[in-house]
Amino acid sequence: MARQLSRRDAVKSLVVGATAATLASARNAHAAAEKGSLLQVDLTPRFELSPYLYMQFMEPLGVTDSSVEASWDHLQDRWRPDLIAATQDLAPTMMRWGGIFTDFYRWREGVGPRDKRPPMVNLMWGGLESNQIGTAEFIDFCRQVKSEPLMCVNFAGDGRKQYREAKGSMRWGDAQEAADWVAYCNDPDNAERRGHGFADPLTIRYWQLGNETSYDNRGFNKGEAIAKTIEFSKAMRQVDPSIQVIAWGDSGWAADMYEQAGDHVDMLAFHQMFNPDSDERPVLRGELYRRDPAATWDCLMNAWQINDRKIRETRDGLKGRDVPLAMTECHFAIPGRNRCDVLSTWATGVSYGRILNNHQRHGDVLKIATAADFCGTRWQVNAVMMPTPHGKSYLMPVARVMKLYRHHIGEQAVEVTDVPDGLDVVASRTGDKLFLHVVNTNRDRAASAELNLAGATIKRATAFEIADDPMVEVSDLNSDDVMQIAERTLSNDGKWEFPAASVSAVEIELTG
């Protein structure tokens, strides 16, 4: 009997102990909530996160920015080594080639011997493109930086008659030309590619049809675009049924496009170029952002809401249809010298942290996303800047945040149910490792957090973070000195402080 009582007492002791621990955890969470510092995460996986949420987008921009021509060392016939090094540091998982440029791009002009490639008039951005960079060179770049290529095809010029012909040369491409391009890249036995010295396939799995088809009144209407989408996709998939076809779904087209062409496409694309500034009382345009740092900060901290409205508008337009979305272009568009000078500031870097957090929240349907153009010589919307004629390429604030998040993110999204005052937080996990992306939206004060995890404890926690003066600007003169990622060990009790104006990626090893 004594032995039986002993067991009962032992069980009672365990129950009391567990109850006490639960009550203590609840009291701690309640106390943290009262202080506004509770950071509560539900560890239940919600959905798979795509590896392509930090895509980069390369478009030949002619005389406007020389984004491609300046990327190429024409004396050595190779990519600029400093650009390769910067991009390897950035580590984008996907690179897109295209843009409005694709409306008049004929891919065969950019393959084969370089000394026989004709130059092309850039009908949108001005100047001539040498075509020294074409399909094989783009794939070489992607392989060097370990990125998945995404190619945009000439979608019959998106129907824009201003791009139909230039100096006696037909600039629109038809479905057969698009199918031939898929064959050139993906067919192991393609004679044309092999004749150019590439025995092995170049392998492009992702193909976008055209670019911004709905964005003016001079191109295809919705019905014409849907018919062309089916025509192009059939032709391209007849060559390679395994390719992923991305059709246009912006401007309210998404539901009808998927309803009528859904059997022929895998994703729907939309774009967003946005300006959070006020037309009545601007604070960001030109050099105005330098005059009132507090107003600049407040404006930038709310920019994510514009981003969120666009994504929700596209999602809502699908009326519940389960369709993967691809935001293949997205960036600020603020008037000013060399486009958006404020984008070189760390204040904008913090703003980008919030925008990228928002992309992750929509990760159940958003499978490809970006927040910048890729590279160039002067536009501040670029992720990578290339000093010319010489110098070392460097990462802009948007790229620094993309790099930070890209290297510290889980495979599955989990939900953040309570967030401390002043912080913007998203979470993900891979197995027993939890990842937090944390933005301190306070310009001049630190923010406290007390992490509470139901059913798990912290074994080890490390923060990788960027914290700097919000008005610091990156340039070729200081790119190695500002906006650097610092690593610090966090306490296992989950009581942490995040510096003012900071973007952090926290890795947490879990037990229990």
pLDDT at 183 over 90: yes
Q: Which of 378, 408, 438 is the last residue of a domain?
A: 408
What integer pLDDT is reported at residue 35 of this predicted model? 57
Q: Are 407 and 91 in contact (CB under 8 A)?
A: yes
What integer pLDDT is reported at residue 474 of this predicted model? 98
Of 117, 122, 103, residue with least CA distance to 74? 117
- Same domain? For 278 and 353 the reply is yes
- Same domain? For 145 and 36 the reply is no
Q: Is residue 457 part of a domain?
A: yes
Q: What whole-number distance in Å separates Cα of residue 423 and Cα of residue 502?
A: 10
- Same domain? For 392 and 418 the reply is no
Q: Which of 393, 408, 423 is the last residue of a domain?
A: 408
Q: Is residue 453 part of a domain?
A: yes
Residue 501 exposure: Cα atoms within 13 Å on the Cβ side: 21
**Helix locations, 42-102, DSSP H:** 62-65, 81-90
- Same domain? For 157 and 212 the reply is yes
Query: Could you give the number of structural domains in the chain?
Result: 2
Q: What whole-number distance in Å separates Cα of residue 199 and Cα of residue 506?
A: 44
pLDDT at 357 over 50: yes
pLDDT at 173 over 60: yes
What integer pLDDT is reported at residue 339 of this predicted model? 80
- Same domain? For 334 and 450 the reply is no
Q: Which domain holds residue 483?
A: 31-48+413-511
- Sort strands 423-430 and 447-453 into parallel, antiparallel or unpaired: unpaired
What integer pLDDT is reported at residue 13 of this predicted model? 37
In residues, how long is the chain?
512
Q: What whole-number distance in Å separates Cα of residue 31 and Cα of residue 35?
A: 6
DSSP string, 295-314: HHHHHHHTHHHHHHHHHHHH
What pTM was estimated for this model as a whole? 0.92
- Same domain? For 96 and 179 the reply is yes
DSSP 221: -
- Same domain? For 231 and 98 the reply is yes
Q: What whole-number distance in Å separates Cα of residue 294 and Cα of residue 396?
A: 22
Q: What whole-number distance in Å separates Cα of residue 512 and Cα of residue 508?
A: 13
- Reduced DSSP (H G I as helix, E B as strand, rest coil) percent helix, strand, coil of the chain, to 5: 35, 25, 35
The packing angle between helices 135-145 and 175-186, to 10°, is 50
Q: What whole-number distance in Å separates Cα of residue 20 and Cα of residue 14?
A: 10
What integer pLDDT is reported at residue 77 of this predicted model? 94
What integer pLDDT is reported at residue 9 of this predicted model? 40
- pLDDT tens digits for range 454-498: 889 999 999 999 999 999 999 999 999 999 999 999 999 999 999
